[in-house]
Amino acid sequence: MSIPFVRDYIFAQPYWFLLLLLLPVMIWLRGKRGKAPTISFSTAFILRDLGTPAKSTQGGFTLGLVLLSLIAAVFALARPQKVISHDEDNTEGIAICLTVDVSLSMLIEDFYIGGSPVNRITAAKRVMRDFIRGRTNDRIGIVAFAGAPYQPCPLTLQREWLEANLDRVQTGVMEDGTAIGSGLAAASRRLDKETVPSKVIILLTDGANNSGKLSPQDSAKLAATLGQKIYTIAIGTPGVHMIPLPNGRVITSGRQEFDEGTLQEVARIGNGSFYMAQDLSALQEIFETIDKLEKKEIKRRSITETEELFFYPLSVAALLLGLALLLRFTLLNSSPMAVAT
């Protein structure tokens, strides 16, 4: 039973309030006129100057204390409680490793944001940031690779820290090259440490494997053996492009070639899918598709806890009853009435 006009408070056993119906009966019985207590003496003048005046008229005050004590006791029996409710999400989430190519060709400016040309790394980080923000229950990490892999950010649930570490995804950290196999292997090793049942690698590259000791296919087989799914994305447009370097120099990329066959085979081995992104819109759609494919069901349950408050009215009842008894036998003690006979 909820308490009117008071939120989050209830009475667990409100039927005890039926006892309050007895209070008017008790008051009526107490107010009935009865025989006054008397002691018969042969003459009354002997007691004229003895003792103090009778205080029986103060009995109504002690009765009021007793009645209030009984009301407080009934409130205690009704068990007032404070309700503490909260929702709990029960999900194991997904472990996702974003595996990003940071070779020099990723500096090619063939993507556009707001009408302005940007390089492939900038476009990739823009889309990855949106992807990260939408995966609030998942552990996400980043592995970057050029001629060798490195780890800008381990798997974490800390979204702000993860987004801040996207700035570490850049060219020039490792020797140039495209070690797709080594990047996949590094991502697979990171994911293998996680205990969640679903593990995903999202590989984003703009070139063919030309570095490292492991082939992309062998690394994909290793990941598949460990129960990890692989999505591959080829990013960029074909043809010859100019690469503006951080030092101001501009070099040619040569003819841009995508090893679609290898990326498709890697995705097949990893039970995932292969995608091609030649502009920002396509890249966004790909990540949105992967986001929908890799959703984990969140089981939400409402938990209600209560805090017992009966000891508060019980304490008041004991205090009032004790006060009534104290007054009854001290200050408000009654003397018998003398009646002449």
Is the model's pLDDT at 34 over the cut of 60?
Answer: no
> Binning pLDDT at 50, 70 and 90, where does residue 263 land?
very high
At 222 the pLDDT is: 95
Kindly report which listed range (64-68, 69-73, 131-135, 201-205) carries the lowest average pLDDT score.
Answer: 64-68
Using a pLDDT cut of 90, give the percent of the chain over it.
37
Average pLDDT over residues 49-62: 55
At 38 the pLDDT is: 54
CATH T-level fold of 92-296? Rossmann fold (3.40.50)
Q: CA 139 → CA 99, 130, 192, 196, distances in Å?
A: 14, 15, 13, 9
- DSSP conformation letters of 299-336: EEEEEEEEEE-THHHHHHHHHHHHHHHHHHHTTTPPPP
Question: Tokens standing for 310?
Answer: 């009966």
The residues facing 11 across adjacent strands are: 80
Average pLDDT over residues 107-132: 93
Q: What tens digit of pLDDT does each residue of 214-257 get?
A: 999 999 999 999 999 999 999 998 888 888 888 888 888 766 67
Using a pLDDT cut of 70, give the percent of the chain over it.
79
Q: CA 285 → CA 76, 111, 279, 294, distances in Å?
A: 62, 15, 10, 14
- Bigger pLDDT: 80 or 5? 80
| Beta carbons of 77 and 16 less than 8 angstroms apart | yes
Is the model's pLDDT at 81 over the cut of 70?
Answer: yes
- Bigger pLDDT: 144 or 318? 144
At 123 the pLDDT is: 94
At 54 the pLDDT is: 47
Is the model's pLDDT at 66 over the cut of 70?
Answer: yes
Mean pLDDT of the chain: 82
* C-alpha to C-alpha distance for 83 and 7, rounded to whole angstroms: 9
Query: Residue by residue, what is the 3-state secondary structure of 141-177?
Result: EEEEECCCEEEEEEEECCHHHHHHHHHHCCCCCCCCC
Return the DSSP state at 2.
Answer: B
Domain with CATH 3.40.50.410 in the chain: 92-296
Question: Tokens standing for 115?
Answer: 């009408």
Please name the helix (run of DSSP H) or strand (run of DSSP E) that holds residue 190, with its range, or none.
Answer: helix 180-192
**Residue 213 burial by CB count (10 A; 0-12/13-18/19+): exposed, middle or buried?**
exposed
Is the model's pLDDT at 114 over the cut of 60?
Answer: yes
* Helix, strand, coil fractions of the chain, as percent rounded to 5: 40, 25, 30
Is the model's pLDDT at 85 over the cut of 70?
Answer: no
* C-alpha to C-alpha distance for 105 and 164, rounded to whole angstroms: 23
The radius of gyration computed from the CA coordinates of the chain, to the nearest angstrom, equals: 41
Question: Tokens standing for 44?
Answer: 């009354």
The residues facing 234 across adjacent strands are: 205, 276
> Binning pLDDT at 50, 70 and 90, where does residue 40 land?
low
Beta strands in the chain (DSSP E): 9-11, 38-41, 80-90, 95-101, 111-113, 116-118, 139-145, 149-156, 199-205, 228-235, 239-244, 250-256, 274-277, 299-308, 337-340
Kindly report which listed range (102-111, 300-309, 311-320, 322-331) carries the lowest average pLDDT score.
Answer: 300-309
Is the model's pLDDT at 65 over the cut of 60?
Answer: yes
